[in-house]
Amino acid sequence: MQREGYAVDMHVKVLDERVVERAKERGLDALVYAPHFTRLPEIRSRAAAFSDDELTVFPARELFTGAWQERRHVLAIGLDEPVPDFITLEGAMTELERQGAAVLVPHPGYLNVSMGLEDIERYRDIIDAVEIYNPKQLSYHWDRARAFAERTGHETFVSSYAHLRGTVGEVSVAFDEGLDDVTALTRALKTDAKRTLIHRDGPSHALRRALEWAHLGFENTWGKFDRLMLQGTEPTHPDHVAYDDRFDDVKVY
């Protein structure tokens, strides 16, 4: 697939040498790396380690806000300081606005883990873009996400939301201008820089989507049990010493 512009896969969960190789084969210029329950300094360190002259890895955080039963995911790019999971959506949005981060809505209206139309309208002035496609979603999720974005007037984006290496680069956003660093990406998102949304199609893409769906089933069964029952307190919990009790007034656990 030939892409024009500066091509970014806007949300991946995996990062290693094979991911970098895959991204380059797919013609990407950059990845946005936002793994689950990983603190910002570690994300930054890994992003730097896997960046080179051909591919830039931008660090980001997908925040898990609220309690498990009513959690809302928020993708934050351009953070200056760490922000924990398990704080209220309002508390997270207030902090992201304070830091001037780019605030993106991943997979809106998806299962019980996403911001809905009411949330997007409430934080209309803080949110910078709404995702309208990723391979884990079904067609009615895409339609609903587009309807949300049209209703609220937000800029849109797409991503591979890759939890598996092979999905990296299946989806990308091509910006008209190059992006030297995460500050430039943040600025592009906050100023609605011109972009083209791209995703692959056909049987191979359908297979990647099916494999990501299978992984979603694992993640929401054994993976969730492992996180909640076997691993103890998450490193991104607001009680972690790294957050210096700054979020005590908005934590939900």
User: Tens of pLDDT along 222-234?
Assistant: 444 444 434 557 8
More confident residue, 230 or 78: 78
Instruction: Report the pLDDT value the prediction gives residue 213, as an integer from 0 to 100.
Output: 85
Query: Which residue spans within the chain are E strands per DSSP?
Result: 6-12, 30-33, 56-65, 72-77, 102-105, 129-133, 155-158, 171-175, 195-199
Summarize pLDDT for 135-168 with one digit per residue, the tens.
Answer: 998 899 999 999 999 999 999 999 999 999 999 9
Give the C-alpha separation, 181 to 241, whole Å.
29
Mean pLDDT of 193-209: 95
Instruction: Report the pLDDT value the prediction gives residue 131, as an integer from 0 to 100.
Output: 98
Summarize pLDDT for 88-135 with one digit per residue, the tens.
Answer: 999 999 999 999 999 999 999 887 789 999 999 999 999 999 999 999
CATH of domain 6-243: 3.20.20.140
Q: Assign 38 to helix, strand or coil.
A: coil
Instruction: Report the pLDDT value the prediction gives residue 223, as an integer from 0 to 100.
Output: 47
Summarize pLDDT for 54-69 with one digit per residue, the tens.
Answer: 999 999 999 999 987 7
Give the C-alpha separation, 253 to 121, whole Å.
26
Q: Is the pLDDT of residue 24 over 90?
A: yes
Mean pLDDT of 30-49: 97
How is the chain split into domains, by residue range? 6-243
